[in-house]
Amino acid sequence: MIKLLILDVDGTMTDGGVYYDATGNELKKFAIKDGAGIVLARAAGIQVMICTGRACEAVRRRAADLHIEYLYQNVADKATFLRGFLDEHHFSREQAAYCGDDLNDLAAMVLCGFVACPADAVDAVRRRADFVCPHRGGEGAVRDAIEEILTREGRYAAAARTAFGVEPDQ
């Protein structure tokens, strides 16, 4: 059973673009449906981690808005970091899921029991993934991955009831 979902940001939670306003602030577009998916994951008891190679205030704010348990930015070597994190927090490979889109995610993906990627992930990541999301990064791929995990584990309906008070199959 998945207990931890690790998310990449650029190209997974976002469309991978880097936008700057007139004062040089970096902006990112996040999909609201992905946020609802994260609410579903948390309702099912899945802890969520953002692990990204870059730092951005917009990511910190999004993580805070969604009450994401773990936020790690400026992680140059995701596999080394994740290996230590999983060990320190006593998560087994089978309890960890990863959703990422590019080559810098591949080594970390190997450490996880379930791997998903956006539809527009690079070929090597799509070949490694257990599930290729129907949506592109920043357009609902995270939601797709979460729904797939919860459906595979028979937890989707209960999570929807807990998170939103609805019966999704009606």
Q: Number of folded domains in the chain?
A: 1
Q: Is residue 137 part of a domain?
A: yes
CATH number of the domain within which 70 lies: 3.40.50.1000
**C-alpha to C-alpha distance for 146 and 141, rounded to whole angstroms:** 9
Does pLDDT of 91 surpass 80?
Answer: yes
Output the DSSP codes for 94-127. Answer: GGEEEE--SHHHHHHHTTSSEEEE-TTS-HHHHH
Predicted pLDDT of residue 114: 98
27-73 residue pLDDT tens? 999 999 999 999 999 999 999 999 999 999 999 999 999 999 999 99
Q: Is residue 170 part of a domain?
A: no
Q: Is residue 169 part of a domain?
A: no
Q: Is residue 70 part of a domain?
A: yes
Locate 20 and state its tokens: 């700057």
Q: Is residue 139 part of a domain?
A: yes
**C-alpha to C-alpha distance for 79 and 85, rounded to whole angstroms:** 10
Q: Counting beta carbons within 10 angstroms of the beta carbon of residue 87, is it exposed (0 to 12), middle (13 to 18) or buried (19 or more)?
A: exposed
Q: Is residue 105 part of a domain?
A: yes
**C-alpha to C-alpha distance for 15 and 141, rounded to whole angstroms:** 10
**C-alpha to C-alpha distance for 120 and 140, rounded to whole angstroms:** 12
Q: 168 or 138, which is more confident?
A: 138
pTM: 0.96
Locate 124 and state its tokens: 């090597």
Determine the structural domain holding residue 22 and report its residue range: 4-164
108 neighbors 98 (Cβ within 8 angstroms): yes
